[in-house]
Amino acid sequence: MMLEDLVLCDETGLYVVTKKLSAQEEEEGTFINSAERRLVYLDPESKEIKDICNLEFGDSISWHLADCYGRTLVLEGIDYKREVSNEELYDDDAYKDIFDNSEEIVATLSIDNGSPVVRYRMSNQALNSSVIDRNMLYVSSEADGVVRSVDLITGQEKELYRAQEGACYLYQKIGDKLCSEEKLEGHEFS
């Protein structure tokens, strides 16, 4: 049993993701896979651990925890739209094709009822970036150069900025400011 690197907390205790690792030997090498991902709660006073919910949803989406607000988790994932083998994931040429035809997804998951609700999708055919801050999602896509905010509770979407040319790469939020780098046509991010 292993713990993932994100620890969440509220006023009563800690939430962590546990998983089991397995090694699978194949012609191409040995692949380490995780399974049985679960959100668990640790009460620091009683030292009791309580199982909250399963984080495997039986879909072809590679989910990971991104943030939380209240009793809601924010998940990010890549929807490959089908099961992807280890060989495909580690083959540069195959993976590029699979990734270009996938979508980035942001979903919310109430820890009280356990099914993810997709809140936003972005095609991976263009370069995208996002920053999540509790119930707010900030996204930018090279496809249109627009920076948007999306309220993950209400679904309200708002245009915040439109790049004159190229796109903005969002990388963090400090206080009430979004940090980004702008990509101009023909130039890389600097």
Check residue 159 and give its pLDDT. 95
DSSP code for 57: -
Average pLDDT rounded to a whole number, residues 138-164: 92
Chain segment 155-190, per-residue pLDDT in tens:
999 999 988 776 788 999 999 999 988 765 554 443
pLDDT score for 183: 62
**pLDDT score recorded for residue 103:** 95
Residue 28 has pLDDT above 60, yes or no: yes
Instruction: Please tell me the distance from the alpha carbon of residue 185 to that of residue 138, in angstroms, as a whole number.
Output: 22
pLDDT at 62: 81
DSSP state of 176: T
Q: Compute the chain's Rg from CA coordinates.
A: 19
Condensed to tens digits (0 to 9), the pLDDT of residues 14-26 reads 999 999 988 878 7
Task: Report the alpha-carbon distance of residue 17 to residue 122 in Å, rounded.
Answer: 26
Distance CA 10, CA 52 (A): 14
Q: How does the average pLDDT of the chain come out, rounded? A: 87
Least trusted range by pLDDT, from 21-35, 102-116, 132-146, 160-174: 21-35
Would you call 84 helix, strand, or coil by DSSP? Answer: coil
Q: What is the mean pLDDT of residues 78-90?
A: 87
